[in-house]
Amino acid sequence: MISNLQRENLPSGMSLKRRDEIYGYLFIAPQMIGFLLFVLGPLIAVFVFSFQDRNLLLGQITFAGIDNYQAMFKDALFTKTLQNSLIFTAGLVPLNVLGGLFIALLLSGNLRGMIFFRAIFFLPVITSAAAWAIVWRFLLQSESGVNTFLQAVGIDGPNWLQEPNWAMVSVIVTRALKGVGINMIIFLAAIKNIPQDYQEAARVDGATGWQVFRRITMPLLAPAVFLVTVLTIIGALKVFDTIFLMTNGGPSNGTMVLVYYIYYQGFQFFETGYASALSVVLFLVMFILTLIQWQLRRRFVFDEQE
Amino acid sequence: MIKKLPLRFLALLFALSLMTGMTLGQDTINLRFTVWTGNEAHLAMLNGIAAAYQETNPNVTVTFVTIPFADYQTKLAIELSGSNPFDAGWMPESLAVPFLEAGTLLDLSSVTRDNPDYNFADLSEAAMSLYLRDDGVFGIPFSTSPELIYFNRDLFEAAGLETPDVLQENDAWTWDALRAAAKTIKDTTDVYGFQSHGQSIYNIHLWHNLAALTRAFGGDIWNAEGTDCLLDTAESRAAIQFYHDMVFVDGSTVPPGTEADFSAGSAAMTIGFLSQSARLGEVSFEWGIARLPEGPAGYVSVIGQSSIVAFQNSRNPEVAADFVAFITNQQNVETMAQFFPPIRASVLNSGAFANANPAVAPEALETSVVPSILNGSLLPTHVEFPKIDLAGRAAFDALWNPEGDVEAVTTAACEAIEAFMQ
């Protein structure tokens, strides 16, 4: 034992600091190797593929320059699906962020039974996405489910999933109900983190409830609001399962979003190169939106030290 | 010294295992055979055939890999481009042409057509049409399932109607008769009278349904060469209008956006393949089958077809081809006939097939199924099918409401799909 220790302390060119570093790297190696192999590798591959004419079925690969990107300008379905993705995002983000904030504010008190209501709103988050979508497909039939209730109050409900505009509304609301719970939890945690003293001090100074919310609570929640908005926008642009299971992109491509179109190009048409180029565009859209939000964050979020 | 021993020992073990692995690898061949069935009875039967093959080829084992049908196209293409591709497997007719044209299928002619023991002439020539190319044989259909009408006897009885099988016997089984029966059933029992194939004329099975309808009226979806869309012909339009009226004028047919299902008893008739009888084993009502009804153009049978192919990328192409020949030989086709209607005339015409399917009465098989197979026209196929499918379905979505205009929609659909037919 002693000899071992002595041997390790021998001046073999390795200092204690250096050895610690090596151990450090060893400890993070499993995670890093996994990240490099399964995340960064494919990510770079997609960029490379996007400049190639690739066909999964033919196994053919040729360099195509920017052909794939040029083809998008002539592809009406690309424009349509990009639009759909933006509409979906524009519908989902306010519902999910404001809805999550509103519910969190309602449920942040310490009244009896609050935990029960929080659990209710969180339940859809842990439900399987597939089960959620399929159950809603049944609820949104033309002659039963939701429409039965509407009939009872004298409203003739639409054929939700078969009319292009209603189908888009349906998938947005279905998705919002599923995701609002996780945002609520993030907001709840942020609200609980605000020291009570600030609000009490404001009230002592004569602030009304709205003023307390507007001047104290809201600014302190700003970092959480930005985090949730960024995550929700990214999530909305990546939506696939809800669309796949509820509408298949229909009717008349009315709910076909960009990710679904990428899936079609890559795995139904086997045009892997073009699908990769579409993925790069989606990546850039997300990147730019996130960048814009980052800039806004600097302007509006005072609470952070940089 | 002692500390170093385990390392050397491990290295030795590793080297040894590599060497044994290599020698084993030379002797044993494992074929990976992909299917889309997860049905235990199907898999037990297939494993039985593989075991019989192993008796004469002790160094070959066969593993059956199930991929759900919805993912089949995607996963098959990915696996074939990977480092451990499938050796052989099932192929639905909708993918046959794209996969064949892409050169992914192995020529089986040496083990089938050129092998006298195989009795190649026994295979129905019409059923082989997709797979005979450039003097090669690129697949052997193992299941040719005609589209049939399934009907709910209890509902027909409740409505006081003659059942489709009786009408068929009296030469009165027409689309008009089907429409009248559906309307009466809806009016008397308030249950839908008719449901499209898989309730998905509005979705993934648009073409299956359109084929059955348009061909009975003398039209079709596209021509045999796949160069012209035929949906905008007067015959096809009449057929599509007929169905549209059943849904939106009669109100007798399950409309879009309604999740009704024949097997749940919420529709009195539906179009389905023979294999769908397996799912009706435990329903709470009595049911029967009839062939597709006659239209203005007479009786036209539409068949769906699944085949067995070997893949070009197989690491053991000779063995893969040999196994495909084995699984489709006379004896094994007889075994498979209990689930899959065969294309070997000798098996089809033997009593073995009539008694093979426990769910369906032998008379019904003989009167409705066998003639449908022998005279059937295949479901539409096209090398650009995936693209045609997406473009065509999107155009047809505009039809599925009461105001849907058949003429406008079929014109738009033809324009959309002909873009991929040049």
Q: Does A167 or A111 have the greater pLDDT score?
A: A167
Q: Are residues B59 and B171 in the same domain?
A: no
Number of domains in chain B: 2
Q: For residue B367, tell me if it sits in a domain.
A: no
Residue B43 has a pLDDT of: 92
| A250 contacts chain B (CB < 8 A) | yes
Cβ atoms of B86 and B33 closer than 8 Å: yes
Tokens of B110: 């040496």
Does A142 contact B104 at a Cβ distance shorter than 8 Å? no
Beta bridge partners of B269: B151
Q: Are residues B252 and B153 in the same domain?
A: yes
**Tokens 């005609």 map to which residue?**
B146
The three-class DSSP label of residue A198 is helix
Q: How far apart are CA B382 and CA B215, in angstroms?
A: 17
Average pLDDT over residues A183-198: 91
Average pLDDT over residues A182-202: 90
pLDDT in tens, B39-68: 888 899 999 999 999 999 999 999 999 999
Q: Are residues B114 and B127 in the same domain?
A: yes
DSSP A130-184: HHHHHHHHHHT-SSSTHHHHHHHTT-----TTTSHHHHHHHHHHHHHHHHHHHHH
Q: Find, in chain B, the residue whose alpha carbon is nearest to that of A160.
A: B257
pLDDT at A106 over 70: yes
Q: Are residues B296 and B411 in the same domain?
A: yes
pLDDT at B110 over 70: yes
Q: For residue B342, tell me if it sits in a domain.
A: yes
pLDDT at A128 over 60: yes
Query: Phi-psi bin for B132: left (phi > 0), alpha (psi -120 to 50), beta?
Result: beta
Residue A306 has a pLDDT of: 42
Q: Are residues B104 and B169 in the same domain?
A: no
**Tokens 């399929």 map to which residue?**
A134
| A138 contacts chain B (CB < 8 A) | yes
Residue B342 C-alpha, separation from nearest chain A C-alpha, in angstroms: 29
Q: Which of A81-95, A173-187, A190-204, B5-19 has the lowest mean pLDDT?
A: B5-19
Q: Are residues B278 and B326 in the same domain?
A: no
Does B397 contact A137 at a Cβ distance shorter than 8 Å? no
Q: Are residues B138 and B43 in the same domain?
A: yes
Q: For residue B370, tell me if it sits in a domain.
A: no
Q: How far apart are CA A225 and CA A303, in angstroms?
A: 12
Q: How confident is the model at residue B2 (pLDDT cuts 50, 70, 90)?
A: very low
Residue A210 C-alpha, separation from nearest chain B C-alpha, in angstroms: 45
Q: For residue B388, tell me if it sits in a domain.
A: yes
ipTM value greater than 0.85: no
In chain A the first and final C-alpha atoms are separated, in Å, by 48
Q: Are residues B296 and B318 in the same domain?
A: no
Q: Are residues B100 and B174 in the same domain?
A: no
Residue B10 has a pLDDT of: 52
Residue B3 has a pLDDT of: 47
Residue A1 has a pLDDT of: 45
Beta bridge partners of B33: B64, B88
Residue B21 has a pLDDT of: 45
Tokens of B144: 């040719």
Cα dihedral A235, A239, A242, A245 sign:
negative
B386 contact residues in A (CB cutoff 8 A):
264, 268-270
Beta bridge partners of B144: B305
Residue B94 neighbours by CB under 8 Å, 6+ apart: B379, B381, B385
Q: Are residues B99 and B240 in the same domain?
A: no
Average pLDDT over residues A34-56: 92
Phi, psi of A183 (to 5 degrees): -65, -40
Phi, psi of B313 (to 5 degrees): -80, 0
Cβ atoms of B324 and B140 closer than 8 Å: yes
Domain membership of residue B240 as a residue range: 148-300+384-418
DSSP B295-342: BTTB---EEEEEEEEEBTT-SSHHHHHHHHHHHTSHHHHHHHTTTS--
State the CB neighbour count (10 A cutoff) for residue B199: 21
Q: How confident is the model at residue B187 (pLDDT cuts 50, 70, 90)?
A: very high
Q: For residue B1, tell me if it sits in a domain.
A: no
Residue A250 has a pLDDT of: 77
Beta bridge partners of B31: B62
Q: How far apart are CA A114 and CA A26, in angstroms?
A: 46
Q: For residue B372, tell me if it sits in a domain.
A: no
Cβ atoms of B318 and B60 closer than 8 Å: no
Task: List domains and CATH numbers for chain A.
Answer: 15-63 (no CATH), 71-300 (1.10.3720.10)
Residue B397 C-alpha, separation from nearest chain A C-alpha, in angstroms: 5
DSSP B370-395: HHHHHH-EEPP--TTHHHHHHHHHHH
Q: For residue B216, tell me if it sits in a domain.
A: yes
Average pLDDT over residues A115-137: 91
B393 contact residues in A (CB cutoff 8 A):
250
The size of chain A, in residues, is 306
Cβ atoms of A118 and A186 closer than 8 Å: no
| B197 contacts chain A (CB < 8 A) | no
Q: Are residues B154 and B141 in the same domain?
A: no
Residue to mutate among B258, B384, B399, with most A CBs inside 10 A, is B258
pLDDT at A13 over 70: no
Q: For residue B96, tell me if it sits in a domain.
A: yes
Q: How far apart are CA A42 and CA A30, in angstroms?
A: 18
Q: Residue A129 to residues A177, A246, A261, B100, B268: CA-CA distances in angstroms? A: 11, 11, 20, 36, 33
CATH of the domain at B160: 3.40.190.10
Does A268 contact B390 at a Cβ distance shorter than 8 Å? yes
Cβ atoms of A142 and B258 closer than 8 Å: yes
Q: Are residues B135 and B206 in the same domain?
A: no
